[in-house]
A and B are shown apart, each in its own frame.
Chain A
Amino acid sequence: MDASAWIQAIANGFALGWMYVLIALGLTLILSIMGILQLAHGEVYMIGAYVTYFLCVSLGVNLYASMIISMIVMGVFGVILEKFLFRPAQRQILPPIVVSLGLTLILMSFAVTQFGLKEKSIPRLAEDSIMFFFDSAVPKDRIIAVGFAVALLLLLYLFLKRTKYGQAMIASAQSPEGALLRGINPNRMSSLAMAIGCALAAAGGTLAGSILMLNPSMGTFPLMKGLVIIVLGGMGSLLGAAVGGIILGLIDGILPVAFEPGITSVAPFIIVIIILLVKPQGLFGHE
């Protein structure tokens, strides 16, 4: 194996990793603030991609503008979901899971009936240009996608660190009761978490849709990755989600170069088992 193949694998891994981080951060935010495993998050990602597709291809809106509109639409959708479905089901184990499973069925069926099973694709972020890193070719659209993901995550970081609401969210994630005692409204925090989570998922769906293809079952795969990252990074840890996402992306980028696809598909699972046996709280988890 020569060096350029490795560099390409690592570049691919980074590109994949940032997509995973977008999904995993949403899942982690929702998990840590609402205590809910949003299993329909992959479907939100899929619908977000289709909204962008609809705006961009059917209505002819600019790609970047459609992506931002899609994020806003899915954010509002997330708030509605939180208010009418997840809030009544909160604070137990089974009801939120069932609500998210029912939602998965509804959204997937909606996509199949409205958009059809035929694969579609969002226009690429950059046309036919390839950039070179140390003699290995990397498609430019992947680099732009990574740039977008990183920019979004920086915005989220600034929001969480520098604003009142962001700090309230962090407090709420660390200790819901403590946050409540300090006068932080948990319902508002939940809405905010769902809005941000769904908007990030929509962005992830759009970026992935411009690199890969759109189809109604595209959400399952990133959801599985997101779940692995949650365990890997520590349940409910935002930093853990970011680092875990990059690690998993690199693994997914590098392993297929060295091994068969079968082994690649088992690797995340083995990682999860090892983490559980050795450090059940994950890489960055507390408790």
Chain B
Amino acid sequence: MSRKLLIIITITAVLAAVIIILPLALNSVYWTSILVLIGINILVVSSLRTIKLLGHISLGHVGFSLIGAYGSGLLATKLGLSVWLTMFLGGLMAAVLALVLSYPFLKVKGIYFALLTLLTAETLRLITWYWKGFTGGFWGLLKIPSPGPIVIGGLTIDFNNVNSYYYLTAIIVAISLFILYRLENSHLGFKWRAIQDTDVLAQSVGINVKWHKMLNFTIACFFAGIAGALFAHFQHSLSPDANARFGVLMSIYLVVYMVVGGESKFSGPIIGTVVLSIISELARGLGEYRPMMIGAIAIVFILLIPEGLVGLPFRCKLWYRKLLRLTQRGSA
């Protein structure tokens, strides 16, 4: 037990060190910005997986990110509230909307849930597109402020700087992931899994299925909202365009990240997001062929390695055994 703990602590320490050193080692605004976006995506995809614990697939998680982003951005620009507060309020707005919508939504299951969430995200995007007076319409919401500078022991940290925003993102994402991880491994998480396996049985042993479904959806959307707020104050501008952050395409990418990483383990979405984002960045030369590549990767993974990247060692073992058996049969 203590050895296991030691391994966990070592891995965490190494990861933390890498995360801290990375922007200093890369020393490039471009790559650090990519890292910030990867961090934000990790949070969205992980919260997407939280919904998947119930067996639901949400194709509209970007919609709740949009609420968080626009909520936080509008509160900061129109009312001039402190960004530290609006970020949290953005997440809260996404959570409230999710709580309201979860009542009709969770009546349905499987593909119909996917369908409904997809419609929700698209509708929210269209509302921001048409509501010119409030959200800036298709011009987008501009001049969103950065979080205000904070002073720690005489040292002023200014968040207009990419590196400091990177550390802020890293801290918020790390805390959020920790909360999601703890929730998943608490009695709540076990109940969610029980509901995924068989909701009738779960109900019969005294789990309030409806309430747990609503809670799960609300929590997941809260973190999607937080991720959206992080995005808003990093980019300083938001656009409701279909090809931008909150379109259907982004929803597709999020699901692909989750599946390629592997949705069975907590680390899956993180690994999937990091690996695919880096592949996509390195393949910049392919230009418009990149979505094709990502789509092909997604299909290959779901058909051949449905466990995703985290299940790759297990898959390789299976393939190796099969190969071994074939060669033995050949020699016999």
Contact = CB atoms under 8 A, between A and B. Distances in A.
Contacts of A131: none
Interface string B190-227: 00000000000000000000000000000000000000
**Residue among A85, A89, A97 with the most chain B CB within 10 A?**
A97
Interface stretch (A178-186, A190-198, A204-212, A220-228): A220-228
B57 A280 contact: no
Contact of B119 (A104, A106, A227): A227
Interface in B78-103: 101
A276 B292 contact: no
A112 interface: yes
A47 to B, nearest CB: 13
Contact of B295 (A89, A94, A106, A260): A106
A39 B114 CA distance: 10
A213 interface: no
A231 B256 CA distance: 25
B291 A93 contact: no
A227 B59 CA distance: 13
Interface in A62-106: 85, 88-89, 93-95, 97-99, 101-106
A269 B123 contact: yes
B51 interface: no
A103 B296 CA distance: 8
A151 interface: no
A217 interface: yes
A113 B101 CA distance: 39
A227 B112 CA distance: 9
B298 to A, nearest CB: 4
Given A101-B256, A112-B288, A89 B303 contact: yes
B217 to A, nearest CB: 15
Interface in B236-257: 242-243, 248-249, 252, 255-256
Contact of A217 (B104, B110, B242): B242
Contact of B288 (A95, A113, A235, A260): A113
Contacts of B123: 265-266, 268-269
A97 B57 contact: yes
Interface in B27-57: 55, 57
B116 interface: yes
Contact of A102 (B111, B119, B295): B295
Contacts, number: 131
Contacts of A110: 292
A187 interface: no
B120 interface: yes
A104 B252 contact: yes
Contact of A99 (B131, B248, B303): B303
Interface residues of A, number: 45
Interface in A205-257: 217, 220, 224, 227-228, 230-231, 235
Contact of A105 (B105, B116, B127, B298): B298
Contacts of B127: 262, 265-266
Contacts of B292: 105-106, 109-110, 113
Given A97-B57, A266-B126, A280 B108 contact: yes
Contacts of A277: 104
Given A261-B130, A280-B107, A37 B114 contact: yes
A110 B289 CA distance: 7
B315 interface: no
A101 B298 contact: yes
B119 A105 contact: no
A109 B107 contact: no
Contacts of A158: none
Contacts of B290: 109
B101 to A, nearest CB: 8
B291 A106 contact: yes
Given A97-B114, A217-B242, A276-B104, A102 B302 contact: yes
B107 to A, nearest CB: 6
A97 B105 CA distance: 18
Given A99-B303, A269-B123, 12 more contacts: A39-B118, A97-B255, A98-B255, A98-B256, A99-B299, A102-B294, A106-B299, A109-B295, A220-B242, A224-B122, A231-B116, A276-B108
Interface of B: 55, 57, 59, 101, 104-105, 107-108, 110-112, 114-116, 118-120, 122-123, 126-127, 129-131, 242-243, 248-249, 252, 255-256, 259, 263, 287-292, 294-299, 302-303, 306
25 contacts: A35-B111, A37-B114, A39-B118, A89-B302, A94-B263, A95-B306, A97-B57, A99-B298, A101-B252, A101-B295, A101-B298, A104-B252, A105-B292, A105-B298, A106-B292, A109-B290, A224-B118, A227-B115, A260-B130, A262-B126, A265-B129, A268-B123, A272-B116, A276-B104, A276-B105
